[in-house]
Amino acid sequence: MIVVVYPLTQRYTFWIACRLFLSIEDPKEVDRFLQRFKLLSEGLVSIPVDLPGTPFHRSIKVSEYIRKEFLRRIIKQRKIDLAEGKV
């Protein structure tokens, strides 16, 4: 039996980060973010040519989505915390 450790530790570490920093506990949502982060990391090590279809271009698009989504989540969580008096 072969145990692949890297994907498991990557997923678990990412899940912990999402839970701590963004209050995301849904495993499906964490997996969606993880897939986008994988696309982002592929673009970081590619040739920086911003043409449609290149890993760099996909990375730029994914980074825009991630920033928008993270910001939306952080604002939503801060509003909830303020309403509950946790801040």
Determine the pLDDT at residue 54.
Answer: 92
Each residue's pLDDT tens digit, 2-55: 778 988 898 999 999 988 887 777 888 888 889 998 888 989 899 999 999 999
* Res 73 pLDDT > 90: no
Query: What is the pLDDT averaged over residues 66-75?
Result: 84
The DSSP symbol for 22 reads I
Determine the pLDDT at residue 26.
Answer: 83
> What pTM was estimated for this model as a whole?
0.69
Residues 6+ apart with CB under 8 A from 18: 24, 29, 30, 33
Residues 6+ apart with CB under 8 A from 70: 22
